[in-house]
């Protein structure tokens, strides 16, 4: 019995926003006991067993939430596109920028030219901005190499980055992000290379936790996406999809039928897409940063997701072209003000449903016994304040795997 009541750390003196089942499920004046990097007990302080703790932390009020989950980012890349951002605001069209060698291909050139060490260093700076705001789990995609060796280098950079930060980092292979200039006249050749050569190497070297693709009229067709996804599944790799961002192609429904963890963007998702996602347990990942920067007007069908019970995650989509976002907390506000989500839905989107979009909902995303001890203390009165405040780093204490950072 004495051994059962021995824990590494106790965390007391704050209200617990558990996010169990995607709701606040608030525990006033709660307590969390941690042993071996896991939560072993959580509940009201008055009901806490007589634990013997190596370390005890007493907060003076405030709230504790699960560690935040940013389930869709492109943090690893070379260069930046601030010059193009300025050009667009000065009236230069996308077509003109592309004709000058800009757009995604400018990032491809910069990424190909960067060493693995350079990619890790620049990504670490961006990632640290997210971690400072309570992110403890993050997904990072490849997709700016667009040749075999550069894609592998990006994925190795993600794995290396994971070793040097206090966060759980998931790597996603997004080689089907765009068509390389070398395959301009033979786009299907790039699809075949991904399926026949790149993905087997990725799987063999353990470089990715999932495979993604960009299904759009200016990118990969539903047929090409299905080819990539079936190749990924044959290798035992989970799938997820950029879908319905700019046009309705039925990509979300396709992804759902194939068992995708998530379909992301979804501004143009139709009711048939939402029905398929509901039937197959596919999470809707909403990305208000890109919606905002591109000044889109077509909002994702939040009411349909509610009606059919499709979980809604939120993510930064941090990338150099359409969402240079370094604050997941800002995405909480945007999800509410731009997409009509409630504060509770938004917070669930960066905790439990963000974890589910990565296949991690059994271990991450809520404060429950048996889950990884990733959580954040905020000197705030209510969880809605996380959504309410615009800008500025809110003071917080991040606990990663049971240890204060």
Specify binding-site residues for 4-imidazolone-5-propanoate: 81, 144, 177, 245, 322
Binding-site positions read: 72, 74, 81, 144, 177, 242, 245, 317, 319, 321-322
Gyration radius from the chain CA atoms: 21
Binding-site positions for N-formimidoyl-L-glutamate read: 144, 319, 321
State how far the alpha carbon of 145 is from the alpha carbons of 85, 149, 189, 266, 384, in Å.
21, 8, 16, 25, 39
Helix (H) or strand (E) holding 175: strand 168-176
Q: Do 339 and 286 contact (CB within 8 A), yes or no? A: yes
Pairing of strands 397-400, 403-404: antiparallel
- Kindly write down the DSSP assignment for every residue of 90-117, as one continuous string: TT--HHHHHHTT-THHHHHHHHHHS-HH
State how far the alpha carbon of 248 is from the alpha carbons of 49, 217, 256, 269, in Å.
54, 9, 15, 6
DSSP E strands in 18-77: the ranges are: 26-35, 38-44, 52-58, 63-66, 68-70
| CA–CA gap between residue 143 and residue 151 (Å, rounded) | 7
Binding-site positions for Zn(2+) read: 72, 74, 242, 317
Q: Do 61 and 50 contact (CB within 8 A), yes or no? A: no
Region of residue 36 (phi > 0: left; psi between -120 and 50: alpha; otherwise: beta): left
Region of residue 127 (phi > 0: left; psi between -120 and 50: alpha; otherwise: beta): alpha
Q: Do 253 and 62 contact (CB within 8 A), yes or no? A: no
| CA–CA gap between residue 20 and residue 158 (Å, rounded) | 30
**Structural tokens at position 183:** 């395959």
Residue 232, judged by CB atoms within 10 A of its CB (0-12, 13-18, 19+), counts as: buried
Mark 185-209 as b/e (b = at least 16 C-beta within 10 Å).
eebeebbbbbbeebbeebbeeebbb
């Amino acid at each position: 019995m004495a051994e059962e009541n021995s824990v590494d750390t106790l965390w007391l003196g704050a209200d617990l926003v558990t996010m169990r089942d995607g709701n606040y499920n608030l525990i006033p004046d709660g307590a969390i006991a941690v042993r071996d990097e896991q939560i072993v007990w959580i509940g009201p302080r008055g009901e806490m067993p007589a634990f013997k703790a190596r370390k005890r932390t007493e907060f003076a009020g405030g709230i504790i939430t699960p560690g935040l989950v940013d389930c869709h980012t492109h943090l690893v890349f070379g260069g930046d596109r601030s010059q193009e951002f300025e050009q667009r605001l000065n009236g230069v069209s996308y077509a003109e920028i592309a004709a000058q060698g800009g757009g995604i291909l400018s990032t491809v050139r910069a990424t190909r030219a960067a060493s693995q060490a350079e990619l890790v260093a620049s990504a670490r700076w961006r990632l640290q901005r997210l971690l400072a705001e309570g992110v403890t789990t993050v997904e990072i995609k490849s997709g700016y190499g667009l040749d075999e060796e550069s894609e592998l280098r990006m994925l190795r950079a993600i794995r290396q980055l994971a070793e040097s930060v206090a966060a759980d980092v998931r790597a996603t292979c997004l080689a089907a992000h765009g068509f390389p200039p070398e395959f301009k006249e033979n786009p299907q050749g790039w699809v075949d290379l991904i399926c026949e050569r790149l993905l087997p190497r990725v799987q063999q070297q353990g470089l990715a936790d999932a495979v993604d693709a960009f299904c759009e009229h200016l990118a990969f067709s539903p047929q090409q996406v299905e080819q990539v996804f079936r190749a990924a599944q044959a290798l035992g790799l989970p799938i997820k999809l950029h879908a319905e961002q700019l046009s309705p192609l039925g990509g979300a429904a396709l992804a759902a039928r194939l068992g995708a963890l998530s379909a992301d963007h979804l501004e143009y998702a139709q009711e048939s897409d939402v029905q398929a996602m509901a039937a197959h347990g596919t999470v809707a990942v909403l990305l208000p940063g890109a919606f905002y920067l591109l000044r889109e007007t077509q909002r994702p069908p939040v009411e349909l997701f509610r009606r059919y019970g499709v979980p809604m995650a939120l993510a930064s989509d941090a990338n150099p072209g359409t969402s240079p976002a370094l604050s997941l907390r800002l995405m909480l506000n945007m999800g509410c003000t731009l997409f009509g989500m409630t504060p509770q839905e938004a917070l669930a989107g960066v905790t439990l449903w963000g974890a589910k979009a990565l296949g991690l909902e059994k271990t991450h995303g809520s404060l429950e016994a048996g889950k990884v001890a990733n959580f954040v203390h905020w000197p705030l009165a209510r969880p809605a304040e996380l959504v309410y405040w615009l800008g500025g780093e809110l003071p917080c204490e991040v606990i990663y795997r049971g240890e204060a950072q």
